């Protein structure tokens, strides 16, 4: 595409101008978490993705602390990394419903998608598939109604490159599923 003199993005057709990125905060104590969040806010970031999934009660407390400490300063996303049971997920949703949480990523183990059917359509729309989504074949399975997820997490490293990612994105688009791209930041 360098020979054509156009960018990869222009080759496919640009649909999005710019989006705000979240930055990821690992599982750490409240004080460290707040310090890290302050640093990100100073750099201009306005969305935090918080790793959770080890202890649901501690997770609920952490998102409440962040919400109170940074009221209206950050939107929150939660990555539970397959760490919850259905009951724990329901507890998390129940106790955080008044907070600005955009979505919850991979709350249950991949393969447990049928358990989501006990959740409402609105609740499922706010769940994002990570480990449940490996390639275009699994993407297609996840579009069978009733759909367990409303969001697909796409990582180029996971699915195998731009072409594979585009296949998943087309499947998602036709099922009215939104995309969440995770771009790995490596500082050498």
Partner 1 sequence: MSITAALHAAYSCANTKYIDLDGSFDLSKDLVEGGFTLKDGYMQPNNLPGLGVKRI
- Using CB under 8 A as the binding rule, the residues of this chain from 107 to 146 that contact partner 1 are none
DSSP per-residue codes, 142-175: TTSSSPS-SEEEE-HHHHTSHHHHHHHHHHHHHT
Q: Which of 29, 43, 122, 145 binds partner 1 (CB under 8 A)?
A: 43
By CB under 8 A, the count of residues binding partner 1 is: 59
* 60 scored as a contact of partner 1 (CB under 8 A): no
Q: Which of 30, 39, 87, 111 binds partner 1 (CB under 8 A)?
A: 39
Q: Is 37 left (phi over 0), alpha (psi -120 to 50) or beta?
A: alpha
**Omega before 146 cis (within 30°)?**
yes
Rounded Cα gap, residues 48 and 40, in angstroms = 9
Q: Which is nearer to partner 1, 7 or 118 (CB)?
A: 7
Q: How far is the CB of 57 from partner 1 (least distance, A)?
A: 24
Q: How far is the CB of 140 from partner 1 (least distance, A)?
A: 15
Q: How far is the CB of 81 from partner 1 (least distance, A)?
A: 12
Contact in structure between 164 and 137 (CB atoms under 8 Å): no
15-45 burial, b for 16+ CB within 10 Å, e for fewer? eeeeeeebbebebeeeeebbebbeebeeeeb
* 31 scored as a contact of partner 1 (CB under 8 A): no
From residue 73 to residue 112, what is the string marking binding to partner 1 with x (rule CB under 8 A)?
Answer: ----x------------------------xx---------
Rounded Cα gap, residues 83 and 44, in angstroms = 30
How is residue 50 annotated by DSSP? E
* 32 scored as a contact of partner 1 (CB under 8 A): no
Site residues (vs partner 1, CB under 8 A): 1-2, 4-10, 12-26, 36, 39-40, 43-47, 49, 77, 102-103, 151, 154-157, 162, 165-166, 169, 172-173, 176-187
């Amino acid at each position: 595409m360098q020979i054509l003199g156009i960018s990869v993005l222009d080759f496919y057709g640009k649909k999005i101008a710019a989006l705000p990125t979240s930055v990821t905060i690992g599982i750490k104590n409240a004080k460290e978490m707040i310090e890290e969040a302050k640093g990100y806010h100073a750099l201009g970031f306005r969305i935090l993705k918080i790793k959770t999934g080890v202890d649901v009660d501690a997770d609920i407390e952490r998102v409440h602390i962040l919400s109170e400490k940074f009221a209206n300063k950050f939107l929150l996303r939660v990555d539970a990394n397959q760490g919850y049971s259905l009951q724990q997920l329901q507890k998390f949703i129940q106790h955080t419903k008044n907070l600005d949480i955009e979505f919850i990523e991979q709350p249950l183990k991949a393969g447990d998608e049928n358990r989501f059917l006990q959740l409402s359509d609105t609740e499922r729309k706010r769940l994002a598939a990570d480990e449940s989504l490996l390639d275009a074949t699994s993407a297609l399975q996840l579009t069978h109604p009733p759909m367990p997820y409303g969001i697909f997490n796409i990582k180029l490293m996971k699915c195998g490159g731009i072409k594979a990612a585009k296949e998943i994105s087309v499947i998602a688009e036709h099922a009215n599923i939104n995309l969440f791209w995770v771009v790995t930041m490596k500082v050498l």
